[in-house]
Amino acid sequence: MRWRTGRRSDNIEDRRGSGVGSRGGRSGGMRMPVGRRTATGGGLGLVILVVLGLLFGVDPKILLGLSGMMGGGGMDAGPQISVPSQAGSGFPGGSLSQGRQDELADFVSVVLADTEDTWNEIFAEGGADYREPRLVLFTDYVQSACGLSEAAMGPFYCPADEKVYIDLSFYDELQNRFKAPGDFAQAYVIAHEVGHHVQNLLGISDQVTRAQRAAGKSDANRLSVMLELQADCLAGIWAHHAHAARQVLEQGDIEEGLNAAAQIGDDRMQKRARGFAVPDSFTHGSSEQRMRWFRTGLASGDFNACNTFDAASL
């Protein structure tokens, strides 16, 4: 991936080695996430979703297809975790050399900047402003508006503060444990979390969370899978537009991204952890699904192609 000459983002918060986000800080289990409460009610929320759909040229069924399952009122939004957690999968924060840390921090800044450029352009085409997320670098543990989170959970997006969180040691985990090396594999992870930010701005995340509260466990998991697969598709949209505008992709990059999507599929993660997979418990999608939806966004560059909520099959 061609990234070294790219623009650096101003939206980076470096909390590595400080406070609760460092080794030797607060220990113990994770708190339950604390989300935000929105003031947008059911009827007004539907109007807003229709307007957003018209602005972005998005088929309203993508946004309104969820509404039949939901009641009005506010809701709490929890974090969207891109990598399913598994018992015993924790990795040591701060295990990277300082030089490797600095290089990865620089890389993350460039990729975030590229997502900013891409989504600013896409939103502008729809006559709207894109509110850029901030990205927090941390070590081991971090306090967000969604609660106290540990690095073993993987990178995540917190809709309550509109920030992406990542411990850079995850990238060693991605390469060594999950066998997904390469800079474009690393970029895919960031683009997926930024995809959750786009879902948050469009109100999709809120709608899904509300629907999950009215659903049984299996249906709630399925809604989570739909949300995650759409974020994979949005990551593909970023790659499509970034390459068209700035020629960022090199030979082998697409294969790196697809491999990363496959390696962190629920089925493969569960088989690593316990030797078998339980599809009803999936919250992020299988390896095949994650690859297919990332490829869909990459090939089309079209938000309408990412309608996982109205797809004949996931």
Per-residue pLDDT band for 229 (boundaries 50, 70, 90) equals very high
8 A C-beta contact, residue 72 and residue 39: no
Q: How far apart are CA 119 and CA 14, in angstroms?
A: 23
**The pTM is what?**
0.78
- Give pLDDT, residue 95: 66
Contacts 24+ apart (CB under 8 A), 173-181: 173/91, 174/260, 174/263, 177/89, 177/91, 178/260, 178/263, 178/264, 179/259, 179/263, 180/256, 180/259, 180/260, 180/262, 180/263, 180/264, 181/256
Domain boundaries, given as residue ranges, for the chain:
12-310
The per-residue pLDDT for range 66-123, each reduced to its tens digit, is 443 333 333 343 434 444 444 333 344 446 788 888 899 999 999 999 999 999 999 9
CA distances from 124 to 56, 118, 197, 241 (A): 9, 10, 16, 14
Helical spans, DSSP H, in the chain: 42-56, 60-64, 98-125, 170-176, 183-201, 204-213, 217-246, 253-263, 266-274, 287-300
Q: How far apart are CA 35 and CA 78, in angstroms?
A: 5
Phi, psi of 165 (to 5 degrees): -120, 135
pLDDT of residue 142 exceeding 70: yes
The per-residue pLDDT for range 179-213, each reduced to its tens digit, is 888 888 999 999 999 999 999 999 999 999 999 99
> Phi-psi bin for 140: left (phi > 0), alpha (psi -120 to 50), beta?
left
The per-residue pLDDT for range 12-45, each reduced to its tens digit, is 999 997 655 443 332 222 222 223 333 333 444 4
pLDDT of residue 255 exceeding 80: yes
Cβ-count burial of 43 within 10 angstroms (0-12 exposed, 13-18 middle, 19+ buried)?
Answer: exposed
93 vs 300, higher pLDDT = 300
3-state secondary structure at position 120: helix
**At CA 131, angle to CA 127 and CA 133, rounded to 5?**
150
Query: Distance between alpha carbon 288 and the CA centroid of its chain, in Å?
Result: 18
Percent of the chain with pLDDT over 90: 55
